[in-house]
């Protein structure tokens, strides 16, 4: 996901330019998201596998 084209609801400028505190807060938050997804793709896949396994196990137990 890219934040380059996001427009701020507060100042109506691109969030990537960081013209107001809302822009800067959003930009920082989005960069953190990018940082985590870029850093741990393997961990995210592992988490997904664990979640799917848990759902399958629960479904198996109820049936």
Site stretch for Zn ion (CB under 5 A), options 1-9, 33-41, 42-50, 51-59: 1-9
Pull the structure tokens for residue 36: 């985590």
- Token pair 């100042």 is found at 11
**Residue 42: C-alpha distances to residues 26, 27, 45, 55 (Å):** 26, 25, 5, 20
Spatial contact of 50 and 60, defined as CB atoms under 8 Å apart: no
Closest approach, Cβ 28 to Zn ion, in A, equals 13
Q: Which is nearer to Zn ion, 12 or 63 (CB)?
A: 12
Could you say whether residue 27 binds Zn ion (CB under 5 A)? Answer: no
Closest approach, Cβ 3 to Zn ion, in A, equals 12
Binding site for Zn ion (CB under 5 A): 8, 10-11, 20, 22-23
């Amino acid at each position: 996901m890219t934040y380059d084209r996001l427009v701020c609801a507060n100042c109506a400028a691109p969030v990537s330019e960081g013209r107001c505190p809302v822009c800067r807060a959003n930009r920082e938050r989005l960069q953190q998201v990018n940082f985590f997804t870029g850093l741990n793709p393997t961990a995210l896949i592992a988490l997904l596998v664990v979640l799917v396994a848990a759902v399958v196990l629960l479904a198996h137990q109820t049936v």
